């Protein structure tokens, strides 16, 4: 249930941000990126929805793998200051 609420909040925020962005864009800019005023917010929300679906599927796949083989996910603490220092 909380995941559904979280998902609804994320999609609503994406729609709100798309509408605020749309208010600052001219028709010429929209033509340059191949969008229209009618479809811009819908396309942004759809892309966010697809990304959320992709993340959920990846998480479900990882959980199924660990349940099937009886392993625990390994997490590593990475110090961002040392990444690439080798």
3-state class (DSSP) for residue 29: helix
Residue 44 pLDDT: 93
Domain range for 38 is: 2-69
Residue 13 pLDDT: 96
Q: How far apart are CA 68 and CA 49, in angstroms?
A: 28
Residue 85 pLDDT: 60
Q: How many CA atoms lie within 13 A of 1 on its CB side?
A: 0
80 part of a folded domain: no
48 part of a folded domain: yes
26 part of a folded domain: yes
Residue 45 pLDDT: 94
DSSP labels, 3-17: HHHHHHHHHHHHHHH
Residue-level pLDDT, tens digit, the chain, 86 residues: 898 999 999 999 999 999 999 999 999 999 999 999 989 999 999 999 999 999 888 888 777 776 677 777 677 777 777 766 65
Check if the beta carbon of residue 40 is closer than 8 Å to that of residue 30. yes
């Amino acid at each position: 249930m909380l995941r559904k609420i979280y998902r609804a909040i994320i999609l609503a925020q994406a729609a709100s941000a798309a509408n605020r962005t749309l208010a600052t864009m001219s028709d010429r800019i929209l033509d340059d990126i191949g969008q229209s005023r009618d479809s811009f917010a819908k396309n942004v929300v759809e892309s966010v929805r697809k990304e959320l679906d992709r993340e959920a599927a990846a998480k479900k796949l990882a959980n199924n793998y660990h349940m099937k083989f009886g392993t625990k996910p390994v997490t590593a603490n990475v110090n961002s200051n040392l990444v690439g220092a080798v």
